[in-house]
């Protein structure tokens, strides 16, 4: 079971405040973290903060995923030539957009 305590502590030389966090971990897990930090030439604190920031960033990115819903009566496949070309769209841009739409249309419907 992990417990956490927090307290505000100013960061030296910056004037900004960070929060100190105490986490209780199993000794084997701490050894793994220390080894990973050393392999990246980081302090344990810096390594843990970096890993947490990476995870939070990945969660934020996952939250921005676009979900397409297709009408139940929509055809299973489309003809790329039915994709309407935008006014003043170059041949290259139109082809890229057609490719994208074909790839999106090909994603199987998971019913969710």
Q: Is the Cβ–Cβ distance between 21 and 4 less than 8 Å? A: yes
Question: Of 20, 15, 50, nearest to 36 (Cα)?
Answer: 50
- In whole angstroms, give the CA distance from residue 42 to residue 52: 14
Per-residue pLDDT of the chain (112 residues; tens, 9 = 90+): 445 555 555 555 556 788 998 999 999 999 999 999 999 999 999 999 999 999 999 888 877 777 767 778 878 788 888 899 999 999 999 999 999 988 888 877 666 5
pTM of the model: 0.47
């Amino acid at each position: 079971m992990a417990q956490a305590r927090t307290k505000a502590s100013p960061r030296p030389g910056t004037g900004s405040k960070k929060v100190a966090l105490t986490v209780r971990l199993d000794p084997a897990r701490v050894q793994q973290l220390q080894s990973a930090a050393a392999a990246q030439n980081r302090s344990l604190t810096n390594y843990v903060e970096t890993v947490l920031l990476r995870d939070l960033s990945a969660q934020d990115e996952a939250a921005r995923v676009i979900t397409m819903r297709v009408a139940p009566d929509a055809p299973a496949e489309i003809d790329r030539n039915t994709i309407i070309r935008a006014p003043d769209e170059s041949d290259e841009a139109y082809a890229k957009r057609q490719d994208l739409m074909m790839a999106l249309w090909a994603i199987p419907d998971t019913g969710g």
